[in-house]
Amino acid sequence: MGSTSAENHGTEGVGRRDLIKRSAALGLISVPTMSFLSACASSGGGDNGDKAKAGKKTAKNPLGVNDTAGMEFVLFDGGFGKEYAEDAVKIYEKNFSKAKVKFSATQKIQSTLQPRFNQGTPPDLIDNSGAEQMDMGVLVGKNQLTDLTPLLDAPSYDAPDKKVRDTLRPGIVEMGQFDGEKVWILYYAYTVYGVWYSQKALDSLDEQYPETWDQMLAVCEKAKKKGMAGWTYAGKYPYYLPFSLYPMIGKVGGREVLDAIDNLEPNAWKHPAVKACFDAYYELYKKGYILKGTPGLDHIQSQTAWAQGKALFIPNGSWVENESANVIPKDFDLAVSAPTGLDSSDKMPFGTIWASGGEPFIVPAKAKNAEGGMEQLRIMLSEASSKNFTGKVKSLTAYNGGTDGIALTPGLKSGVAALDKAGENVVNPRIQDWYVQLQKEKIGVSGLGEMMAGRLTPAEAVKRIQGYADEAAKDDSIKHYKHQ
């Protein structure tokens, strides 16, 4: 998608009271106001007194890690588990035997770590993911992250003649950029988003995966007659719906529709392609093709119901294979497809899919041992660590390769095939990275969630979501980003 630039909407000159109100509105502070104020007061900029002194740069230590300095790594404890990260930590500890590594995993990234950012004592490396993800646009806008360019320009762990950046999948570097050349985030997993299903269940209906919406409705009708819902989704977290809905919008209307949405352009959501896709999804609700009770299910409950054969299709990312491994039957024959389109008038071909970096790793600007955090990432981007991740969690990494010699699981095999089929037709909506709260709470919960529960019509949902996007575009406290 190319690098991104931003209009300058920093927080210079913002009154402290405004800052508190704004941070509270963004869900950035879960600490009482007074302690937030005192934290702000006490975490004055430029205080590098407790930062680890850099070590000597050598061929084996190109980032100049201080080999006796402690390193703290906090991982999001989600669908990929923590074993892959623990294995990579062991390599760090072997390479820097005098260094003490503190490793922990939590689902509550924001409530655990935001106070530490405010106090100027963040860890050295964070996997900023999950429902409690900190807003990356805000972290970048407030200069709270370290530029990862030194890591990308360092020699790769396997081949000293190759830079780390030259070993990564297309789009990974650009995804970490917000405003210019600096790279603030390294997305470690490579996620294929789309519509997931059991090939066995589809075969039992004597059906192919539907390429047009009329075919989709026909397949859902057939499933319904056999006592199976067409769809379910994470009703409590309806921002899972865009995993198939956004690439459908791109397929129907072209990439430029998704770019306009990312850019918060006026009336972007009123594009006919958006309305047509909302209408299509709403039809699933109207025709009774969505599993009863879906709006009350979280991601695990919806995935479990789907794995039990109660629903045929679920919008999700490639982590679902690992996250649902304990409930997916052995003969399920897990598969993923690019989203179904409307008809032959769609702008992009069938196979157009959303695939992009997942699991955003960051090194805070006030990390005591930023070099150590980056070195841990360099280790994770080696072929061995990448293979370890793929073998253990059934998902690709940002490392471009790492599948040779691994027996691919059904979902992973299907994901690789879907990427091959897509070829150049891979879309990568950025709104979920640039405007986390807008995407999750407003577009997801208040817009799409309400529509799919039947409480808003598609026209009302479009109007509501456009209103939220317009508010975000006008809000000078938010840093704004744009496609070049």
| Cα 187 to the center of its chain, rounded Å | 8
Q: What is the pTM of this model?
A: 0.76
DSSP β-bridge partners for residue 396: 190
For residue 420, pLDDT over 80 is answered with yes
Largest CA distance in the chain: 69
Domains (range + CATH), the chain:
4-191+357-408 (3.40.190.10), 192-355+429-483 (3.40.190.10)
What residue ranges in 153-223 does DSSP mark as E strands? Answer: 186-198
Which three-class secondary structure state does DSSP give residue 48?
Answer: coil
Q: Using 50, 70 and 90 to split pLDDT, how confident is the model at 472? A: very high
Confirm if 215 and 223 have CB atoms less than 8 A apart: no
Number of Cβ within a 10 Å radius of residue 16: 11
Which three-class secondary structure state does DSSP give residue 15?
Answer: coil
Confirm if 88 and 385 have CB atoms less than 8 A apart: yes
Q: Using 50, 70 and 90 to split pLDDT, how confident is the model at 73? A: very high
CA neighbor of 207 nearest in space, from 191, 228, 190, 189: 228
Four-residue CA torsion sign, 108, 412, 433, 268? negative
Q: For the CA atoms of the chain, what is the radius of gyration?
A: 22
| Measured CA distances, 251 to 135, 160, 315 (Å) | 28, 41, 16
Q: Where do we find the tokens 């970096």?
A: 357
Number of Cβ within a 10 Å radius of residue 189: 25
Q: Where do we find the tokens 């999804």?
A: 281
Confirm if 1 and 482 have CB atoms less than 8 A apart: no
Compute the average pLDDT of residues 265-294: 98
Predicted pLDDT at 394: 87
* b/e per residue 150-180 (b: at least 16 CB within 10 A): bbbebbbbeeeeeebbebbbebbbbbbbbbe
DSSP β-bridge partners for residue 72: 102
Predicted pLDDT at 37: 31
User: Could you give the residue ranges of the DSSP H alpha helices within 26-146?
Assistant: 33-42, 83-95, 109-118, 136-141
pLDDT digits (tens, 9 = 90+) for 431-465: 988 898 999 999 999 999 999 999 999 999 999 99
pLDDT digits (tens, 9 = 90+) for 378-397: 999 999 999 999 999 888 99
Two tokens, residue 101? 């590594």
pLDDT digits (tens, 9 = 90+) for 215-254: 999 999 999 999 999 999 999 999 999 999 999 999 999 9
Confirm if 128 and 76 have CB atoms less than 8 A apart: yes
Q: How far apart are CA 78 and CA 404, in angstroms?
A: 26
Number of Cβ within a 10 Å radius of residue 87: 16
Q: Using 50, 70 and 90 to split pLDDT, how confident is the model at 8? A: very low
Confirm if 253 and 273 have CB atoms less than 8 A apart: yes
Two tokens, residue 406? 């691994």
